[in-house]
Structure 1
Amino acid sequence: MYENTLTQIGLDGQQALIYEVLLKNGPLPASKISQKSPFKRPLTYKILEELQDVGLVEKREDPGKVAVFHPLHPQKLGELLDEKIKKAEQAKYALGSVIGQLTSDFNLISGKPGVQFFEGPAGVEKVIFDNLTSKTEILSYLDMGALDKYIPEINQRYIAARKRLGIKKRNLVNDTPENRERLAGYHRDITEVRLMKFADSSIHFASMIQIYDDKISYFTLDPERMIGVIIQDKNIVDMHRQLYLYTWQFAKPLPGQDTPTTPPTAIAAGPRTESQA
């Protein structure tokens, strides 16, 4: 009668059947429980021990008498359900932390571009920090105001990590008075910035693109829908890299930053000084 419900809550079929026997018949010794179930006595004892462990059965044994097993209050089933929900949430979080890479691996072996999708601030952080493994210079389109507004702490940790690793980067940034002020006086040893005029400089995209190795990543910082995507595909990345370099030619260097720029290359060891995102 209750077996289906009890198994949905978290008991297995054998546990559900024995617990139901006790609920309907009251306290019984193991021999009687075995007779009222399809299980032999050794298995019945094992199931009763499992039910004791989860708090649904209590064993009472008076001196000189056979042990009797008592069913405990069904309210305990609510606690078991809460625990099951908690474990399911933990499993969902664990899957969420690896599903992007699992999908990427699957797509790569099936000949499709590897695509990883992430959500929330933690997901965006994974997307940003992914390029710290880059063996090539990182090419970025940045909304510096959005970085400062929505993820300043994440960005500062990223800046410090990239500085320690000496990873070079180019940033294309909207040419606004605010961005020029942000960029004034920053160290440029491993970051080169150029300014470009958007058709409508009043628009803030709150999104960024980063090109590195054979990957391109996108992330948006809209607080209501913060997402990140990493695509791993050489053909797609080569196209975006060439488009970026073409745009770079027409962008304005910052004042004092007028040395010729060489094509993106593998990272070489060099001074590790403070830089911008």
Structure 2
Amino acid sequence: MKFDSLHQLGLDDREISIYRALLRLGPASIRDVAAESGVNRGSTYETLKQLAGKGVVNYFPRGRRRVFQAEEPEQLLQLGERRQQALSQAMEQLRTEVIPELKQSRAEFSPGNVRFYEGDDGVELVLRDILDSTAADPERGYSVISTKTLREHLYRPFPNFTRQRESRGIRVRVIAVGEGGDEAEYAERKWLPASDTSDASYIAIYPPKVAMITLADKDYPVVVIIDSAAIASTQQILFDTLWGLL
């Protein structure tokens, strides 16, 4: 029997072993549970208390001793539901209280605001970050400067990026350096002339972040993400100015 689902409920191997021993035994003393499970008596007692706290074991007095018994296995579903509810509440608290407060306490800029990635995994991370960040922004839009020499490599690790962007209603303005670039929904495009040998470069501005991608030897992607509202704002001003001139 696989116990991955029980582990997801927060039960460790010892708790699972003792719970199963109780199911086999029925109401039993600590000594009998320890013998059946192969766990020493002291650890058995502590584990039984933990299981009782989780609502999957109960106990009652029998003379001067305490006898334990396992709750019905269906009780595990209730344990899972309680855990799921607690996790949902924690996620909501993270989203509405904890993360905003932590962001306020963070230094305005530090070396940690600059992150480096390599390879197709790094490119995919940037593309997914763009989608997730802009989807949460009321403006739901971002800006891109992209050269022809990089475009053919950009969506290799994330071929359905454009489809996902369109399905989320995320707008993009693109200044394409060199010919090419497919038309797409929620996308505006303007062009700058360039030779076919221009350096490979992709710059995405999605405040408060700016992501830059280029190619090293043998078309190996190198990625930099700068998380800085000041830098993103300046880059946006430059982009908007150039956009207005084209």
Q: Of the two, which has the highest radius of gyration?
A: 1
- Please report the TM-score for the alignment, with normalisation by the length of structure 1: 0.44
> What's the TM-score, normalizing by structure 2?
0.49
The higher-RCO structure (CA 8 Å, 6+ apart) is: 1
Choose between structure 1 and 2: higher strand proportion.
Answer: 2
